[in-house]
Amino acid sequence: MNEFELKWDGNKVAAVFEGDLTATIVPDLKTALMEALETGVEEVEFDLSKATVIDSTGIGILIASYNSLVKRNGIVRLILGSDDIFRMLQSMRLEKRLCISKR
């Protein structure tokens, strides 16, 4: 069972998570995002406001999404609820590439 839902709005897709972004859901998420990118999506939003953990595979999918979208002048947005996740991303300097906001 997916712990995320994709919501479409024109050339934007939002991945809304019910929990954490970890290795258990990344394969399904990767497949869904690849299909979305093939349709010409220019913006991907990750709503992680309910997440308390992101593991290395989760970080990998964020970076892969950024790398795919930057080639077409797209953008990756993150909505976070956890200060810990923000600090982790900040320590990796990802806040300079990913558009991050907090809920």
pLDDT digits over 63-91, tens only? 999 999 999 899 999 999 999 999 999 99
Q: pTM (2 decimals)?
A: 0.92
C-beta pairs of 8-16 under 8 Å, 24+ apart in sequence:
11/40, 11/41, 11/42, 11/43, 12/41, 12/42, 12/43, 12/44, 12/45, 13/41, 13/43, 13/44, 13/45, 14/44, 14/45, 14/46, 14/47, 15/44, 15/45, 15/46, 15/47, 16/47
Tell me the per-residue pLDDT of 6-38, one tens digit each, with 9 for 90 and over.
999 999 999 999 999 999 999 999 999 999 999
Give CATH for domain 4-102. 3.30.750.24
Residue boundaries of the structural domains of the chain: 4-102
2 has a pLDDT exceeding 70: no
